[in-house]
Amino acid sequence: MAKDKKKKVQRPKALPPKGFRDYFGSDVVERQEMLAAISDVYQRYGFDPLETSGVETVEALGKFLPDVDRPNEGVFGWQDEDETWMALRYDLTAPLARVYAQHRNDLPTPYRRYAMGPVWRNEKPGPGRYRQFYQCDADTVGTASMAADAEICAMLSDALEVVGIPRGDYVVRINNRKVLNGVMEVAGLGDVEGQARERGIVLRAIDKLDRLGETGVRALLGAGRKDESGDFTDGAGLTDAQADVVMGFMSAGRDTGADTCAALRDLVDGSEMGLKGVDELEEIAALLAAQGYGPDRIVIDPSVVRGLGYYTGPVYEAELTFEILDEKGRKRQFGSVAGGGRYDDLVKRFTGQEVPATGVSIGVDRLLAALREKGRLSTKAKGPVVVTVMDRDRMADYQTMVSELRQAGIRAEVYLGNPKNFGNQLKYADQRDSPVAVIEGSQEKEQGVVQIKDLALGARLAAEMETNEEWKSQPAQMEIKRSDLVAEVRKMIARADG
Amino acid sequence: MAKDKKKKVQRPKALPPKGFRDYFGSDVVERQEMLAAISDVYQRYGFDPLETSGVETVEALGKFLPDVDRPNEGVFGWQDEDETWMALRYDLTAPLARVYAQHRNDLPTPYRRYAMGPVWRNEKPGPGRYRQFYQCDADTVGTASMAADAEICAMLSDALEVVGIPRGDYVVRINNRKVLNGVMEVAGLGDVEGQARERGIVLRAIDKLDRLGETGVRALLGAGRKDESGDFTDGAGLTDAQADVVMGFMSAGRDTGADTCAALRDLVDGSEMGLKGVDELEEIAALLAAQGYGPDRIVIDPSVVRGLGYYTGPVYEAELTFEILDEKGRKRQFGSVAGGGRYDDLVKRFTGQEVPATGVSIGVDRLLAALREKGRLSTKAKGPVVVTVMDRDRMADYQTMVSELRQAGIRAEVYLGNPKNFGNQLKYADQRDSPVAVIEGSQEKEQGVVQIKDLALGARLAAEMETNEEWKSQPAQMEIKRSDLVAEVRKMIARADG
């Protein structure tokens, strides 16, 4: 029995599940501010918010995923009491499909909607790869007009600038899946089913142009390619003439959209599908040019691929063009932060009807990382003014001070820990990124004054000081009239900000 | 075989899972704006945001729930690949407990945090009862100071006013669990374990004062009560003298906090626990009075019960005092929209240590419903200006118009449906709550003018008009110079708003 008593209590581990994480303080505020700014842009373009719940039936989710061809796995699922299978949504497009199918008679046509929120993937977590993350989507459902695609590209460009990516540091690239299909046709790979393997290799090769260069891509188009490690990748087995067509496609980018389109038109000559694609690109380019979105913001770029197995027309992506250092210290471009395109089977699973749609998804975490990289998150949540407690019986006095400060819009709090050790109060203020500490001992109270301390200047020294006397000797501290508290604190904060 | 072909395709149902719902347009915007306003208040009080993910391990969730004593069921759970049980969070307090236990050495002490987000309950859905809903919490962890409780009550009061509940339409009521325990002691029900049944009946009786009146409550304290339907509810079996103590407690509310505390002090005389509770109430009342939070905003009210089985000290709730009509057309007060209190075993499950904490949870949906009731959601998202398409080859012209409008901060979109039937364009604008439609046919284009139509005036007639000619005859329409588009649209919107 005595033995039993000694048994250690089994306590739960204080950890989130594997692959999940917490966001503290400024991380939360920064994301919210970024998404609010993007919402404003989307609203101005006439897009309406839609918020579905995190849970859908597995039946409704299906295996619909615009970017990736994947089976219906990788979701977190369970059975409801009535045996219905339910799962956490893995993206924001599958719920849109369900909502549009459900409410299509009541929703306006076309339906412009945006959605922001967490999605869940039941995948192996890794460094920087989480099983819950934010997505931010905008889609226009129910119109085949190229104006819808052009509009989303313009809106994407506006959104990037609004959150703090300056013009010149990003480019929105547009391609068209029909043009690529036309190129395949001209290159003799027009048989979508029969030449699926070859078409796949060509797509992946185009997608790797950045990394492998022209020689590498050409090897993959032909017999195959051996990489530095000696590994061999099978090629598509194209003849030189066929490969020339594909290489010509990738290098068809010109200085203006009109010139690029002309080059593409030559290239896909003879393919009806290809020519239709060029028409679509030209229409988009013209619409954007009329609104002043020139090649400094949006370009026609034949090298954009983006999960083309799925898209049916225009595809687009936003790349950040400024350089960062990769994990090995090498310079590279920041890369893609958003992408999307046109797809036509959004609600077909539910209704049998094809409904044309086009939409974009912004990578919230990547865009936040980019803004952090560029030092654009100046909005970092400010720490509060901390009113210290010199005399624990006068808590009401200290509460009155913070009340006055808050009414003036200044973030402020009273120290509510054990006030005995004054050094701990200063350490606390330091930990809170506090710009100003306020001190009112009984002597100050009598004289109608308070001490205010500029912690931006004094933070590093603070941790070493244990007594009020030492503290007072610091130069960043000043005595002010109690009645001037709000005005003087405001001045001190402004000084720290400037 | 032919038979097989005829088989109807099995299509998925376009519905959310039972008990889940979608939020469209202004519902999303209104909630976000309300939560943003509350965040601002919480920030100003020095509270930091914390966002945990929707998923926790079942081990970490435990059966911790501040308001309700409930078993570890009612969650949506499943097993991870490594057999760990995971579940969707059912509130925001359990994740706070896990986070605080995990990061307690790095977090400031005390730790003030707020959290807003969806929670999930695996309960039987009913009318107006959903299985996913929003919570909005603020808690201070790591201090036993009554200043923390006072602060949260003041903050709650500020938050209600900021979102649009005017002073006088709400009241924050404060009670203390220790006082109630003291009353139980004086009434001879001091044996927490042995008299659990009687204590439970007394608690529930107090909670029903509003509904049953004094006579009904007194019956429950004594032998029991038969309701109108003839059903009998067992009573606590108190003597008249014992019941007098409890009734005295409920009617101890006075005009000022000081007077209420004096009455309570008389009542719990002899109970150490009860007197400690009165001290705490007095301390809170003094702190609030010093900051100007008088009985028009915050009162000491002995009738507040709030899941007292759980709380260990002060408890508080915010009630909206204006009247609404219930489902039977009877007037009643809107009632509670927020509540909370002090609890001391937040992280004990994880660490074995008692950590004092106090916090409040706002019922997001109820508060939104109250604001809707009071007509306080004037922020309703405005529909966009709709630029109609008279000539589908001039899409670029129309896009240029919306581009100009947006740059001036005006929400605007081009009609992107099939433009052939002009009546449909007007119906669309109507459906979009559009304030203004813009019309530019080839004739207008030649003359450098456009037609703008005030849809706030013309909406009801619009659906009946099929031709441009009829449309033009409507009085709410005017011809303006193309170059004045932005200025004139702005004027027309302002007129509609005013």
Contact A25/B98, CB-based, under 8 Å?
A: no
Helix axes B240-250, B196-207, angle to 10 degrees: 40
What is the predicted pLDDT for the residue at A2? 47
Q: pLDDT value at position B70?
A: 42
Q: Looking at the complex, report in whole angstroms how far the Cα of residue A233 sits from the nearest Cα belonging to chain B.
A: 33
Q: Is the pLDDT of residue A425 over 70?
A: yes
Between B337 and A374, the more confident residue is B337
H helix or E strand, kind and range, residue A87: strand A85-88
Interchain CB distance below 8 Å, B118 and A56: no
**In this predicted structure, what is the pLDDT of residue A378?**
60
Mean pLDDT, chain B, integer: 87
Q: Write down the number of H helices and E strands in chain A.
A: 19, 19
What's chain A's length in residues? Answer: 498
Mean pLDDT value of segment B148-171:
96
Distance CA B244, CA A194 (A): 90
Q: State how far residue A273 is from chain B, nearest Cα, in angstroms.
A: 22
Pick among B41, B42, B78, B348 to test the A interface (most A CBs inside 10 A): B78
Q: Which CATH architecture has domain B25-179+249-373?
A: 2-Layer Sandwich (3.30)
Lowest mean pLDDT among A75-79, A330-334, A407-411, A459-463: A459-463
Q: To the nearest 10°, the Cα dihedral for A424, A425, A426, A430?
A: 90
Where are the CATH 3.30.930.10 domain residues in chain B? Answer: 25-179+249-373
Measuring CA to CA, which residue among B57, B25, B68 is closest to residue B307?
Answer: B68
DSSP structural state of residue A270: T
**Distance (Å) from the alpha carbon of A142 to chain B's nearest alpha carbon:** 7
Of the given ranges (A187-201, B129-143, B161-175), which has the lowest mean pLDDT?
A187-201
pLDDT at A71: 40
Domain A385-497 falls in which CATH fold?
A: Rossmann fold (3.40.50)
Q: Considering CB atoms only, which of A54, A98, A289 is closest to B118? A: A54
Return the pLDDT at A250.
Answer: 85
Q: How far A208 CA sits from the closest chain B CA (Å)?
A: 33
For residues B226-247, average pLDDT: 88
Q: Which of the two residues, A329 and A2, has the higher pLDDT score?
A: A329
| Averaged pLDDT, B212-221 | 89
Cis peptide before A125 (omega within 30 of 0): no
The reply to whether residue A98 touches residue B417, judged by beta carbons under 8 angstroms, is no
Does the distance separating the beta carbons of A150 and B51 come in below 8 Å? no
- Domain span(s) for CATH 3.40.50.800 in chain B: 385-497
Residue A66's pLDDT is 42
- CB spacing of A140 vs B416 below 8 angstroms: yes
Q: Where are the alpha helices (DSSP H) in A45-163?
A: 58-61, 93-103, 146-163
Does B143 sit within 8 Å of A417, measured CB to CB? yes
Which one of B17, B36, B150 has the shortest CB-CB distance to A80?
Answer: B17
In A190-306, alpha helices (H):
196-207, 209-221, 240-250, 257-267, 272-290
Which of A313-327, B1-15, B394-408 comes out lowest in average pLDDT?
B1-15
pLDDT at position A464 over 80: no
Percent of chain B with pLDDT over 70: 90
pLDDT at B52: 97
pLDDT tens digits, one per residue of B328-369: 888 888 889 999 999 987 788 899 999 999 999 999 999 999
Rg (C-alpha) for chain B, rounded Å, is: 30
Residue A429 with chain B: CB contacts under 8 Å? none
pLDDT > 70: what percent of chain A? Answer: 90
pLDDT digits (tens, 9 = 90+) for B5-44: 555 678 899 999 999 999 999 899 999 999 999 999 999 9
Q: What is B314-364 written as a DSSP string?
A: EEEEEEEEEEEE-TTS-EEEEEEEEEEEEESBTTHHHHS--B-EEEEEEEH
pLDDT at position A17? 94
Tens-digit pLDDT profile for residues A45-91:
999 999 999 999 988 987 644 444 444 468 898 888 888 889 999 99
Mean pLDDT of chain A: 87
Which uninterrupted H or E stretch holds B451? strand B449-454
pLDDT recorded at residue B66 = 42
Question: Given this model, what pLDDT does residue B151 score?
Answer: 95
Nearest to A102 among B14, B46, B84 (CB): B14
A:B CB pairs within 8 Å: 287
Which H helix or E strand runs over A358? strand A357-363
How far, in Å, CA of A91 to CA of A121, rounded?
A: 9
pLDDT tens figures, B279-323: 999 999 999 998 899 999 999 998 887 765 678 899 999 999 988
CB within 8 Å: A22 and B417: no
Task: Give chain A positions within 8 Å (CB) of B18.
Answer: 80, 82, 84
* Interface-testing mutation among B9, B15, B33, B428, with chain A (most A C-beta atoms within 10 A): B15
Neighbours of A436 (CB within 10 A): 28
**Which of B10, B395, B493 would best serve as a mutation to test chain A binding (most A beta carbons within 10 A)?**
B395
Structure tokens at A461: 């020294």
Which residue in chain A has the smallest CA separation from B407?
A: A44
pLDDT above 80: residue B498:
no
Residue A173's Cβ-count burial label (10 Å; 0-12, 13-18, 19+) is buried
pLDDT tens digits, B41-87:
999 999 999 999 999 998 898 764 444 444 446 889 888 888 888 99
Cβ contact, residue pair A287, B395, below 8 Å = yes
CB B111 within 8 A of CB A415: no
Partners of residue A11 in chain B, C-beta under 8 Å:
349-352
Instruction: Supply the pLDDT for residue A380.
Output: 52
Nearest CA in chain A to B142: A417
CA B265 to chain centre: 35
- Residue B464: per-residue pLDDT: 54
Q: Which of A71-75, A272-276, B268-272, B422-426 has the lowest mean pLDDT?
A: A71-75
* Three-class secondary structure of residue B311 per DSSP: coil
